[in-house]
Structure 1
Amino acid sequence: MTNIKLNNPTEKTQNAVVLLSGGLDSVTCLYWAKARYATVTALSFDYGQRHNSELVAAKTIAELAGVNHRIIDIDIAQLGGSSLTDHSMIVPDGDADKFPNKKHDVIDNDAIPNTYVPARNTIFLSYALAVAEVTDANHIVIGVSSVDYSGYPDCRPEYIAAFEHMANLATKAGVTGHHLSIQTPLQQLSKAQTIELGLSLGVDYGQTISCYQADSHGLACGVCDSCALRRQGFAQVGIADPTHYQSQP
């Protein structure tokens, strides 16, 4: 079981902003931050994604966790370039071998999949940076991973380090000696380890929605890349998958 550890007792007096999509990773980060910091502000985005079910989940989860929650409206969809915002593009399946009865647009593991949304994490972190300044937060928490993820360039440790460096150059907080950090508690964790961490913190994963193309009721497709990674994680932990699917894949 993965355990939470405080690096610095003074963190209990500090504040944090958590990027909350409503999915498995971000909700784990929310509970991780709640256990670590004095106050937490959850930040979600209505950015023109394929469905709003994840935002409904994020709102419910933030209420259950008892944290402040803000939803920012930005229209990334008008830029195109991603199957998560452009309905004319096909969301690729995550694992053709597991679902032989369906038609597949299989992800090339050596390429960045079309579910990558151009500059999304940079845009989200920039908003989080502004919220951190106005809420006197010392930390921004984001659920990126270098282990179980879809190959997005803005999930890499090098990117996070570069953004943190920029944040402390570009803000009043940074230049007046109030260091801002970007926390990535899941960076070196597999999906199974992430689930173990969340369970130790009391996360109800049945409330989360990770699917790239969930329906209006929040039911997951079961075949996209995000669903495949999620299902694999629960299988590796050895517990029942609490995800609500559109149909049994």
Structure 2
Amino acid sequence: MKQYEKAVVILSGGLDSTTCLGVAVQEGEEVYALTFDYGQRHRIEIESAKKVAEYYRVKEHQIATLPFLRAIGGSALTDKEIAVPHSGVIANEIPVTYVPGRNLIFLSIATAYAEVVGANAIYLGVNALDYSGYPDCRPAFIESFARTATLATKAGAMGATLQIKTPLLYLSKAEIVTLGTKLGVPYELTSSCYEGGSVACGVCDSCRLRRKGFAEAGLTDPIAYSERIDVV
């Protein structure tokens, strides 16, 4: 019988994290999925994460609640007084959808979870191309955190190395969609819209990026949108 390696996959329920989970499964990992409920406007993604985890029959699916991120606000995703942008992503500009410290916090909790279950890798679906303005999606941050995690944990002190795997880091959205389609990723179960409605708005920055990715890949997005405009 094959001995699987254990891995924690940070699963939001969106396109990127679900593709990341698909990659982990394809690489033969025994997956422990970790989803965060931080009071996000688009809470519908949590339900998507549950469906994706069930689809892949992951070993375990934990949902960590972080109400403090909503309490402090500072992002269009956690503060309803800040409008979700519909104008499209501006390169090298940090958008209002940036959640202060989000990936730093997520990875810290995932590190603790990995230590407990004996996982030697954490998969994170960050992408440096589409969201180059997010400081916590940049390669320098990922590399730095991996070093810090080794220094900060019992496992690291005993000589174990925790890998932070980011298989989508340098892929365009079209390349991500193409990869996921080849792996049979169930995109029909995913949710990407920042507005958080039962049907994706089609015009927020996240919807635009997703639709653009499918269009450039020459593939059909299986989810519905309430509005359809030319993607740029």
Report how far residue 179 of structure 1 moved: 0.7
Structure-2 change in CA distance of 1:94 and 1:174 (3 Å): farther
Cα separation, 1, equivalents of 2:92 and 2:114: 36
1:137 aligns with 2:130: no
Aligned residue in 2 for 1:70: 62
Aligned residue in 1 for 2:136: 154
Aligned residue in 1 for 2:100: 118
Residues 1-249 of structure 1: pairs in structure 2 closer than 5 A: 13-67=4-58, 68-75=60-67, 76-95=69-88, 108-149=90-131, 151-215=133-197, 217=198, 219-249=199-229
**Structure 2: where are the runs of 5+ without partners?**
none
1:24/1:210 contact within 8 Å kept: yes
Report how far residue 108 of structure 1 moved: 4.3
Structure-2 change in CA distance of 1:53 and 1:74 (3 Å): same
Report how far residue 148 of structure 1 moved: 1.9
1:19/1:141 contact within 8 Å kept: yes
Q: Given the two structures, how large is their TM-score scaled by the length of structure 2? A: 0.93
Report how far residue 52 of structure 1 moved: 1.6
Task: After superposition, give the CA deviation of every residue in 1:36-73 in whole Å (9 maximum; x if it has no partner).
Answer: 13411110011010032100000011001100211011
Cα separation, 1, equivalents of 2:108 and 2:17: 17
Cα separation, 2, equivalents of 1:135 and 1:82: 32
Report how far residue 198 of structure 1 moved: 0.6
Task: After superposition, give the CA deviation of every residue in 1:67-110 in whole Å (9 maximum; x if it has no partner).
Answer: 02110111111111100000000111143xxxxxxxxxxx5434
Aligned residue in 2 for 1:98: none
Cα separation, 2, equivalents of 1:207 and 1:122: 27
2:132/2:138 contact within 8 Å kept: no
1:51/1:214 contact within 8 Å kept: yes
Report how far residue 150 of structure 1 moved: 5.6
Structure-2 change in CA distance of 1:38 and 1:146 (3 Å): closer
1:21/1:58 contact within 8 Å kept: yes
2:203/2:228 contact within 8 Å kept: no
Structure-2 change in CA distance of 1:114 and 1:133 (3 Å): same
SS of the residue 1:214 aligns to:
coil
Cα separation, 2, equivalents of 1:49 and 1:185: 25
Q: Given the two structures, how large is their TM-score scaled by the length of structure 1? A: 0.87
**Structure 1: where are the runs of 5+ without partners?**
1-9, 96-106
1:28/1:203 contact within 8 Å kept: yes
